[in-house]
Chain A
Amino acid sequence: MEGEGEEQTSIWNKETVPKVMKIVSTRLGQRDLISVLLLSPWIHRTLISYPSLWLSIDLREMNNAGDRLIAALSLPRYQHVKQISLEFAQDIDDDHLEVIKSKCLGSLQDLESLNLNGCQKISDKGIEAITSCCLKLKVFSIYWNVRCVKMTDSGLQQVFVKCSFLQSLNLYALSSFTDEAYKKISVLSHLKFLDLCGAQNLSDDGLSCIAKCKKLVSLNLTWCVRVTDVGVIAIAESCTSLEFLSLFGIVGVTDKCLEALSKSCANTMTSLDVNGCIGIK
């Protein structure tokens, strides 16, 4: 009887539960997945053998994020990671990213999405380091606490040069970039989503360069107060697939740009935000 009970328990622990956890794991978010991974050595072994579960590293809001990221990227299961989120993670800086570049290059080859929102200690150096590893990057997001701006024009340019497959770029509230930064943006020929909310230094020149990204689908120019009709018309004429455009708070635009927009993007445009555009009647 004893033996039978033990055998039952053994089957439960080593076969039944790991198998069930594998089935359930496809429905779990990364955090929960990690919790399950740690339940028992048998579950661990089972889950590790399914690479499709391990394509995302979620370090949002975690402390010691830099060290954790390096450790994670050194694990075999993350060799093909596609998505890394460090949104509001703490304790990560340029040095960590440089270490990653020198030691974990292999793991970043498949990275498609990188979220560095709120990582206040990362500057150009770190950005350059990490983006030079991920040439397949499609989605890049650096949305910062406005007080702590460490990224400059050249840092952004590095991103453009290295990650030419970028489709989505979120630079919300990065107010320090000047027009220089956007000169090279046209290399991002696949760019579809661009968020420049709060880019107060962006002028029509910069916007004209941006207009060269013809595949733009969504453009957020909220509070880009130096922009006028000239810039918007350039966008309208070039980005004919535009679906979403926000000119929120831009006082320098008038009905002229609306005409241009309606001429070229009327078919595709679904959302146009002109709140606060007092120049428009």
Chain B
Amino acid sequence: MYMILSLPGTDILTPWAFSKHLEYTWTRAAILTQFVQAGSESSPCELDQRTPLLSSHGSLCTQSFGGTYSGHSNATSPKNMGHGDHVVDQVARSLYVGYRNNATMDPAWFAAVETICMLNGCAMIHEALDTQIMKSYIWLQTVDGSIQQVEQEIAMFCPMICHEVIQKGMGSSKNYAISLPQQVNPAVLSLILDYCRFHQVPGRSNKERKSFDEKFIRMDTKRLCELTSAADSLQLKPLVDLTSRALARIIEGKAPEEIREIFHLPDDLTEEEKLEPLKNATDDPRIRLLNRLYAKKRKELKEREKLKNVEVDEELVDDRSVDDLLSFINGDDGDSKGIKTSKSKRKNRRRKDLLKSTSAHEATKNHNKESNGLNSVCRSAEVGQILPGVDATTNLQDVEDDIFPNKNEFDDGDIDDEIDPTLKEKIDREVEDFARRLNSDWPERMQEILSLGQEKKPVHLSLNGKGS
């Protein structure tokens, strides 16, 4: 607007007239810019003289456009222009030149021109405007330095970008690209733009949006985390809500060890953890181990899901034996409730695997170490007499370290299909037996164990498949 006022030759107009002049001028300026541009490529443009735009400004425009114009790059004026046209011409040229030189062009100008055309029902002009020059793109720069342009309606869906455009006038050209916060790398930006592209369309139903969202958040946790951080920096609240809800679901019910693993955080017992009065698990190294093993187990189950159709020798972690045994012993600890519930869900399957794996297992080394750890635990529970004399080293860290290197020895393809029928029967029996034991009360179990110890080898505690 200021440009028009400052141009020489402008008539002094009443406010109404001025606004009309403005409308007119702007619109024509836009058209002319188009013409000039087109002219530089030597292609004619046609303009319908009956367009409402022109007639509504009849008082200012004594002559209407008509016929075909062929613009040219240093156009002074197209044929048959009205008396205000020299002003228009100059405005148009300034706009054009300014744009071509990539000076800061207020996108609001272009938007205003476009709006006026639309309001005046000039579909054809609107289309003519809707070219590379006039279409609103916003230029964005990510932290790695790369610059891209994005359709205005999509980019403006992000409040932060919207703010930059409207308040600071940024983003209209490559030189004035909006610097996105450092949390937004190109990959994450692409995801965010996908989200915006879908949701900025007004006509979608809630069901459609919800369905899109559910599919959208299916990504690995690390990426989800990055996305949350980026969306937050762009103040895109709906996406922050979506991603943080998903992350909350992932975190719920898990112990710190597991969560650390999922989020790739250094796996150290922190000072805070040692001193925290409200931490959930008892300060018991066995429980810590259990949780760590559960985390690893869960990861492996997930991987197994992925490789389901592929015949691969998968790693079987023999931690389940320790799991079962430890919680078997710890069964009635008040705080192991959580452990118990998640355990009970997978009891049968794990036990089957466990028994199968132990029967397949050849080396006794790992087994001895388990018994070791178990023995120390058992001793504390006063059932030491059950197990044969083994070194009473209470080093569960060793147990863990030994278990994992050995996992490659286990073959754990499709579980049930590969078991020999007689072996399967035996395993089923042992499973039932084991289930019975786990489900009965601790004192009764004690009795059974004690009596077992006198009869035969303690098969169930040591789970030595070879022994049966």
Instruction: List residues of A whose CB falls within 8 A of some B CB.
Output: 12-13, 16-17, 19-20, 23-24, 26-32, 34-41, 44, 57-59, 61-63, 67-69, 71-72, 75, 90
Once the chains bind, are B247 and A20 in contact (CB under 8 Å)? yes
Contacts A28-B251, A44-B270; is A61 near B337 (CB within 8 Å)? Answer: yes
Instruction: Collect the chain B residues with CB atoms within 8 Å of residue A27's CB.
Output: 244-245, 248
Once the chains bind, are A38 and B252 in contact (CB under 8 Å)? no
Q: Which 7 A-B pairs have the closest CB atoms?
A: A71-B277, A27-B248, A38-B273, A68-B277, A38-B256, A24-B247, A44-B272
Q: Which of B226, B272, B334 contacts A38 (CB 8 A)?
A: B272
Once the chains bind, are B252 and A17 in contact (CB under 8 Å)? no
- When C-beta atoms are compared, the residue in chain B nearest to A57 turns out to be B278
Instruction: Collect the chain B residues with CB atoms within 8 Å of residue A38's CB.
Output: 256, 270, 272-273, 276, 279
25 interchain pairs, CB-CB under 8 A:
A13-B265, A16-B225, A19-B229, A20-B228, A23-B244, A24-B251, A27-B245, A27-B248, A28-B252, A32-B254, A34-B278, A35-B251, A36-B251, A38-B256, A38-B272, A38-B279, A39-B265, A40-B260, A44-B272, A58-B278, A62-B334, A63-B282, A67-B277, A68-B278, A72-B277
A16 to B184, CA, bound (A): 11
The listed residue with most B CB atoms (<10 A of its CB), out of A20, A34, A58, is A20
Once the chains bind, are B265 and A17 in contact (CB under 8 Å)? yes
A40 to B254, CA, bound (A): 15
Contact flags B256-278 to A (C-beta < 8 A → 1, else 0): 10011001111000111100111
New contact pairs (13) apart from A32-B253, A35-B251, A90-B334, CB-CB < 8 Å: A19-B229, A20-B228, A23-B240, A24-B247, A27-B244, A27-B245, A27-B248, A35-B256, A35-B280, A36-B251, A36-B259, A40-B270, A61-B334
Q: Which of A12, A39, A58 contacts B256 (CB 8 A)?
A: A39
CB distance from B393 to the nearest CB of A (A): 28
CB distance from A103 to the nearest CB of B (A): 14
Instruction: Collect the chain B residues with CB atoms within 8 Å of residue A40's CB.
Output: 260, 265-266, 270
Cβ-Cβ contact count across A and B, 8 Å cutoff: 98
Q: Does B183 contact A (CB under 8 A)?
A: yes
Instruction: Collect the chain A residues with CB atoms within 8 Å of residue B271's CB.
Output: 41
Instruction: Collect the chain A residues with CB atoms within 8 Å of residue B232's CB.
Output: 19-20, 23
The listed residue with most B CB atoms (<10 A of its CB), out of A39, A69, A75, is A39
Q: Does B255 contact A (CB under 8 A)?
A: yes
- When C-beta atoms are compared, the residue in chain B nearest to A91 turns out to be B334
Instruction: Collect the chain A residues with CB atoms within 8 Å of residue B282's CB.
Output: 63
Instruction: Collect the chain B residues with CB atoms within 8 Å of residue A35's CB.
Output: 251, 254-256, 259, 279-280
Q: Is the interface of B mostly helix, strand, loop or mixed?
A: helix
Once the chains bind, are A59 and B278 in contact (CB under 8 Å)? yes
Instruction: Collect the chain B residues with CB atoms within 8 Å of residue A24's CB.
Output: 228, 244, 247-248, 251
Instruction: Collect the chain B residues with CB atoms within 8 Å of residue A28's CB.
Output: 248, 251-252
Once the chains bind, are B264 and A12 in contact (CB under 8 Å)? yes
Instruction: List residues of B whose CB falls within 8 A of some A CB.
Output: 183, 225-226, 228-229, 232, 240, 244-245, 247-248, 251-256, 259-260, 263-266, 270-273, 276-280, 282, 334-335, 337
A68 to B259, CA, bound (A): 24
Contacts A12-B264, A61-B334, A63-B282; is A34 near B225 (CB within 8 Å)? Answer: no
Instruction: Collect the chain A residues with CB atoms within 8 Å of residue B252's CB.
Output: 28-29, 32
Once the chains bind, are B279 and A34 in contact (CB under 8 Å)? yes
Once the chains bind, are A34 and B183 in contact (CB under 8 Å)? no
- When C-beta atoms are compared, the residue in chain A nearest to B278 turns out to be A34
CB distance from B288 to the nearest CB of A (A): 12
CB distance from A139 to the nearest CB of B (A): 21
CB distance from B293 to the nearest CB of A (A): 17
Once the chains bind, are A20 and B229 in contact (CB under 8 Å)? yes
- When C-beta atoms are compared, the residue in chain B nearest to A17 turns out to be B263
CB distance from B341 to the nearest CB of A (A): 13
Instruction: Collect the chain B residues with CB atoms within 8 Å of residue A34's CB.
Output: 276, 278-280
- When C-beta atoms are compared, the residue in chain B nearest to A45 turns out to be B272
A67 to B264, CA, bound (A): 33
A38 to B263, CA, bound (A): 13
Once the chains bind, are B272 and A41 in contact (CB under 8 Å)? yes
CB distance from A133 to the nearest CB of B (A): 19
CB distance from B248 to the nearest CB of A (A): 4
- When C-beta atoms are compared, the residue in chain B nearest to A27 turns out to be B248
CB distance from A7 to the nearest CB of B (A): 12
CB distance from B396 to the nearest CB of A (A): 20
Once the chains bind, are A17 and B245 in contact (CB under 8 Å)? no
CB distance from A211 to the nearest CB of B (A): 41
The listed residue with most B CB atoms (<10 A of its CB), out of A37, A61, A67, A69, is A37
Instruction: Collect the chain A residues with CB atoms within 8 Å of residue B256's CB.
Output: 35-36, 38-39
CB distance from A28 to the nearest CB of B (A): 6
CB distance from B404 to the nearest CB of A (A): 23
Contacts A12-B264, A62-B334; is A31 near B280 (CB within 8 Å)? Answer: yes
Instruction: Collect the chain B residues with CB atoms within 8 Å of residue A30's CB.
Output: 278
A12 to B335, CA, bound (A): 32
Instruction: Collect the chain A residues with CB atoms within 8 Å of residue B280's CB.
Output: 31, 34-35
- When C-beta atoms are compared, the residue in chain A nearest to B269 turns out to be A38
Instruction: Collect the chain A residues with CB atoms within 8 Å of residue B225's CB.
Output: 16-17, 20
CB distance from B259 to the nearest CB of A (A): 6
- When C-beta atoms are compared, the residue in chain A nearest to B228 turns out to be A20
A36 to B247, CA, bound (A): 12
Once the chains bind, are B334 and A39 in contact (CB under 8 Å)? no
A63 to B282, CA, bound (A): 9
